Amino acid sequence: MKLAGKVAVITGGAMGIGRAIAEGLATEGARIVIADRARAVEAAAAMSAQGFSAAGIATDVANEADVERMAKHAVETFGGIDILIPNAAIFTTIRPKPFHEITAQEWRDVMDVNTLGVFLSVRACLAALSRSTSGRVITISSGVAFKGNPLYLHYVASKGAVVSMTRSLARELGPRKILVNSLAPGFTLSDGVLANPALIAGARKPSLGGRTLERDMYPSDLVGAALFFAGPDSAFITGQTLVVDGGTYFH
């Protein structure tokens, strides 16, 4: 129970990678706030039924007022915030296309959630994280930031930005004793991916072929790394990005 008494806020936590990490942290004793545009309250209720301490709040991470309410809800419900995982992102609904066919609005939509959402979430939770004795921010970037995958320029750019934001935030928040690290997953069979057969058809085979460990990746494969960054064993690590992809990219 390395996270007993800690409070973790996870955006995009109702399903997929966010939900797996939420349950993993809860298993180690953390109290969980799930923030998501849909099914956040239902996901928290399901966790509570499992015996975990969880609360949910509907949140659009690209909406400043929503994110401020999220942070306030966490503090009012559980007394503070120790761990923030700004996981919410647009990916599975993106249609791959050459970069010159991406519209300005498509670019803005991806950036609003994938980068502005991270910024707003950290800013809203900063005061509470600063009061914690073990403040942690764990961003979710992606292996595409290092591989430069084609046909997803806006997504690749957004995840590269998250890597850079992680490094800069680590510098700024270090004096506050807040650690900032990032997880970079490979192609993961999350709920959203499984609901998109075309995406699986295009990405699964090349992903498997490039891995040292040639098997599918699931959200549960990220839980151990998230627990490491959230807990006391990473107390002298900040500004780092850990690639979790079965050995596709050696970072």
Q: What would you measure as the largest C-alpha separation in the chain, in angstroms?
A: 50
Nearest to 84 by CA among 13, 16, 28, 184: 13
- Joined together, the tokens standing for residue 163 give 């890597």
Cβ pair 206, 96 in contact under 8 A: no
φ/ψ of 207, rounded to 5, equals -65, -45
- Joined together, the tokens standing for residue 195 give 């609901």
- Joined together, the tokens standing for residue 7 give 């409070």
Instruction: Give counts: helices (H), strands (E), the chain.
Output: 10, 7
d(Cα 89, Cα 91) in Å, to the nearest integer?
Answer: 6
Cβ pair 155, 163 in contact under 8 A: no
> Would you please indicate which residues are annotated as catalytic (active-site) residues?
155
H or E element, residue 183? strand 179-185
User: 147 burial class (0-12, 13-18, 19+ CB within 10 angstroms)?
Assistant: middle
d(Cα 117, Cα 187) in Å, to the nearest integer?
Answer: 21
